[in-house]
A and B are shown apart, each in its own frame.
Chain A
């Protein structure tokens, strides 16, 4: 099956450090992966998309990598701030009954301490 796995343990880091979150996938490599941020009690917000043929994508303090050998995507937040504290979700497309639907990981909670 085509699954997405994210570390369920919360990541605690100090303000100013770089946070690195991991998304592992099973089965064949998806054509792309998406990353979302979710704050408590709210809907997720799209952050970044990286395609299979892109090794790295950046947006301001965010960086995403895609390693098809390791079947893994890493999500980095540099110079982290307490406002970055949230749950970060990884998503891939999954073939299902002739359609191609999104499937999400459980998300990893990031806590940035001042």
Chain B
């Protein structure tokens, strides 16, 4: 079965702790993305990666970090510097990054709900 997996589904952390969210895909996609979704809000882009060992900040990268050492994996670390980390985090992938002349559908994982107290 091809797809994107995220783990864990629910995650609880104490304030001040860093936490890493896992995202793995076996679709052989080049591009991967991390989004954050708050209640009643749309998806906000945190980081994205076009290829291995390369990634770019999205609209709300402050307090987050990523790595892309393997094509299949794009973990997200929520650091203690993130002021409001409690949210629903979604990982996605597409064959390539959006282009000016082409569009690629995104495949989303099931999400990780992070609660920080």
B interface, by DSSP: helix, strand, loop or mixed? loop
- Of the A-B pairs whose beta carbons lie under 8 Å apart in the complex, a sample of 14, sorted by A's number, is A31-B100, A41-B88, A43-B110, A46-B107, A49-B105, A51-B103, A89-B43, A93-B103, A101-B45, A101-B98, A103-B45, A104-B42, A106-B40, A106-B41
Is the C-beta of B101 less than 8 angstroms from some C-beta in chain A? yes
The interface size of chain B toward A, counting residues with CB under 8 Å, comes to 29
* Contact present for B43 and A41 (CB under 8 Å): no
Cβ of B77 < 8 Å from any Cβ of A? Answer: no
Task: List the interface of chain B (C-beta within 8 A of A).
Answer: 4, 33, 35, 40-43, 45, 48, 50, 56, 58, 88, 90, 92, 97-101, 103, 105-111, 113
Taking CB atoms, residues of chain B closer than 8 Å to A114 are none
Contact residues in B for A45 (Cβ distance below 8 Å): 108
